Amino acid sequence: MAHPPASRDLPADRATARRPRRPAIRIGSAAGRRANVVVFVLSCLASVTQAGVLIAIGRAVGDIIAGMPPNRYLFIATYCAAGSALAHFVAQAIAREAAANEESRLRHRVLAHLLAIGPARATRVRTGATVSTLTDGAERVALYRQTFLPQAVASGLAPALVVLLLGIVADPVPAVTLGIAVVAIPALIGGFQRLFRRSSADSRRQRTELAARYLDAIQGLTTLVLTGAARRTEDSLRAAGEANRRAVMRLLAGNQVVILVTDGLFSLLLVGGAIVSALLRLRAGAIGVGDALAVALVAYVLLEPLDQVGAFFYVGMGGLANQRAMRGILGLPLPTANPEPAATRGTGQPDEAFRLTDLTLAWDQATPVLTGVDLVARRGEQIALVGPSGAGKSTLLSVLAGELIPQAGRAVVAGVGLTWATRDAVRARSALVAQTTWLFTGSIADNLRLAAPEADEPAMWRALETANLADEVRLMPAGLDTEVGERGVGLSGGQAQRVALARAVLADRELLLLDEPTSQVDLASEAAIVAALATIGAGRTVVTVSHRAGALIAADRLVRVADGHATEVGDDTAAWLPA
């Protein structure tokens, strides 16, 4: 369990002043930004050439009314239409391709960061919320950044270019009038963004919370049923689903308000203003019929930014909310390397399995869980960690597994000094059998090969023999090909735990870490597991955490973890276990 950061009793202004400003986390890639520039340029070109089509059509109609052939303007309209269609098509193709690439890159980047901070610190991020961010969230962010953002920026600049073109080829007065009206459009988009940001964030928060709760319920379904909590959980999920529905409806209601304002009011005023301005200039004799018609038609091109207001709620707001969530994950600090100079890091003695020297262990710079830990284990020793629940036994085991970097002090595991840079090497020297048995849907052989993908059948049978499970597997009709479900469904608790032990044997690591290996099995299964541990421990260094005396019979030494310290005690196991 991750521990919350320690609170600091500082005034808000002093805390803010002392906290260094972290640079904004950049989400997009260089390739994505280059694609955005191309899409932006092509979108502006598509809008300008589209305006050229409408101006040419207006001039052509004016020539027809005046009794002149419109051939020249029809050719211009045709070429501009072809150019506009091509620019729009290429921009869309590049945007879609870039969105697909960015979606994949974002997923890999966020997942890599979660792996980089380590499994211990990653527990502060709920699995269901992470899954939602990596799937639906990554898609929304990619669509926002690659399909919405460059075109939204282009829709803010393109009207200025269109108005400039209109002022040059037609009449500057209506162009200035339309330019003033167009300035209000980006301000309108920004205003709605600020107005509805809270509803979008609330919608995303409810959606990820619902996903997290559903995953928690599915993972703990058996426990919920056995403890009679299934109905209560069902009611909780129903309430969370209703909260999610309400959040979505609030967001959609805001979207409908935007559509009403933009389509029903702003569009009407812009087009109406363009027509009135053109008629006034036509009546004054400043422009001809063709230019007046061109001014009226070009007003429709200037409505393009209004389409982005509607798209903003379906793409923009969702993308922004998920982008903030991704920044939250990417902002989780990486474990810092042990501050002790590398020159002082010893590799330990050749016969030492591990050496812990003056360790301080904490989670996310919080109040230390353990301090002043000094512990040395010889190769082949079996050490038992005992003490009350929550005292820090699993925290100490996390250091030996390479999952937690010490806040201070030195840890040398199998000759490797534990730092952020070497944690993978430390992990490769140990095998961890957790309290929860992690078996997956597939055969027994599939689950064994997770530890050694190239293992052949004789090697797997030897591992099962060592784990005291081979005879039972041979009695199964399919043997090694026996199918098991998620978390070992189809096997007893003791059998599933011994499959995990066989997997650790197959990994053939010099350090075996056991976290409550018999806590969730009956006495008969415990006896089989204890017998297996006696065989598995031969020639290996074994560190066992347990509250049950049976699992500690073979221990050579006992280490009591309590009150923030780890102290070696006598060998009377029963005296140090709970009554």
Cβ atoms of 399 and 356 within 8 Å: the answer is yes
Predicted confidence at residue 8, as pLDDT, reads 33
Cβ atoms of 513 and 433 within 8 Å: the answer is yes
31: its two tokens? 């390739």
Chain mean position to CA 198: 21
Strongest mean pLDDT among 247-256, 363-372, 375-384, 549-558:
375-384
Cβ atoms of 527 and 517 within 8 Å: the answer is no
437: its two tokens? 């048995």
Q: How far is residue 308's CA from residue 382's CA, in Å, rounded to a whole number?
A: 67
pLDDT digits (tens, 9 = 90+) for 124-141: 666 667 777 888 888 889
Beta bridge partners of 355: 376, 412
**Is 90 exceeded by the pLDDT of residue 94?**
yes
Q: How far is residue 302's CA from residue 82's CA, in Å, rounded to a whole number?
A: 20
Q: How far is residue 447's CA from residue 439's CA, in Å, rounded to a whole number?
A: 6
pLDDT digits (tens, 9 = 90+) for 328-352: 888 877 755 444 433 334 455 667 7
pLDDT digits (tens, 9 = 90+) for 500-557: 888 888 887 888 888 877 665 566 666 766 776 666 666 778 888 876 665 566 677 8
566: its two tokens? 């780890």
Predicted confidence at residue 35, as pLDDT, reads 92
Q: How far is residue 227's CA from residue 278's CA, in Å, rounded to a whole number?
A: 77
The pTM of the full predicted model, rounded to 2 decimals, is 0.55
Chain mean position to CA 499: 31
14-43 mean pLDDT? 73
Q: Look up residue 556 and give its DSSP letter.
A: S
DSSP string covering 506-525? HHT-SEEEEESTTTTS-HHH
**Is 60 exceeded by the pLDDT of residue 240?**
yes
> In 3D, which of 489, 280, 514 has the Cα closest to residue 397?
514
pLDDT digits (tens, 9 = 90+) for 401-430: 888 888 888 888 878 888 877 878 888 888
Predicted confidence at residue 2, as pLDDT, reads 36
